[in-house]
Chains A and B, each alone.
Chain A
Amino acid sequence: DAKTTQPTSMDCAEGRAANLPCNHSTISGNEYVYWYRQIHSQGPQYIIHGLKNNETNEMASLIITEDRKSSTLILPHATLRDTAVYYCIVRVGTSGTYKYIFGTGTRLKVLA
């Protein structure tokens, strides 16, 4: 079972920041949070991941609360091409046995 819960859908205006929340209240101390997105009919695409510190890369920023029970993915300037399903995943297991269990994700629609 997925260890994350996300809103089913969200809309965002083009050019504005998209903030996608994720709850992972049962996360363990050594479990990482990963974000992937899936554009229709394509394979899921890696976006970003983190443990406890906030992370930023060329695609997005990841803000993790101090208690690690939730996180937010931020797309700073959403474009129409960012319309996709966004998955927040907690990686479970130990080295050599890691599993990535996907939940239902958030369907983000970027509006012109």
Chain B
Amino acid sequence: DAGVIQSPRHEVTEMGQEVTLRCKPISGHNSLFWYRQTMMRGLELLIYFNNNVPIDDSGMPEDRFSAKMPNASFSTLKIQPSEPRDSAVYFCASRYTTPGQGAKSGNTIYFGEGSWLTVV
């Protein structure tokens, strides 16, 4: 079974450039999460989608960040313009949820291997 697939795995870009991170969730999963990890702030939830609809974007740091999920098998996280303080590892995670289902294994979230972003 393919897990959550993220690309690129590593990116180095110059300040001011646009960065697009991509995520393919596990097939059949209907919830998708974007997290950011830094030494200073740990793992932060940025945004999550349920059935392709953004449910909570309160963790998105500012307007330079945007996320989309055009279909059930693809999501992007975009930073425009990028700044050095955006340097972090960005993780995507997915989960399958049946409405009304309790926390059985289907509600476990599975993470990708992350996209390592360095903005210089």
Q: CB-CB contacts of A17-43 with B at 8 A, as 1s and 0s?
A: 000000000000000101000000111
Number of A residues, CB within 8 Å of B: 23
Looking at the assembled complex, report how far the CB atom of A43 sits from the nearest CB atom of chain B, in whole angstroms.
3
Q: Does B71 contact A (CB under 8 A)?
A: no
A95 in contact with B101 given A45-B111, A100-B109 (CB within 8 Å): yes
Residues on A with beta carbons closer than 8 Å to the beta carbon of B25 = none
Q: Separation in Å of the B33 CB from the closest CB of chain A? A: 7
Tell me whether chain B's interface is mostly helix, strand or loop, or mixed: strand
B103 x A44 contact (CB < 8 A): no
Q: Mark B92-120, 1 if CB is under 8 A from A, else 0.
A: 01010101110100011111111000000
CB contacts (< 8 Å) of A102 on chain B: these are 35, 42-45
Shortest 5 CB-CB contacts between residues of A and residues of B: A43-B111, A102-B43, A32-B103, A44-B111, A46-B108
Give me the interface of A with B, judged by CB distance under 8 Å: 32, 34, 41-46, 49, 51, 87, 91, 95-105
Interface on B for A, CB 8 Å cutoff? 4, 31, 33, 35, 42-45, 48, 50, 55-56, 91, 93, 95, 97, 99-101, 103, 107-114
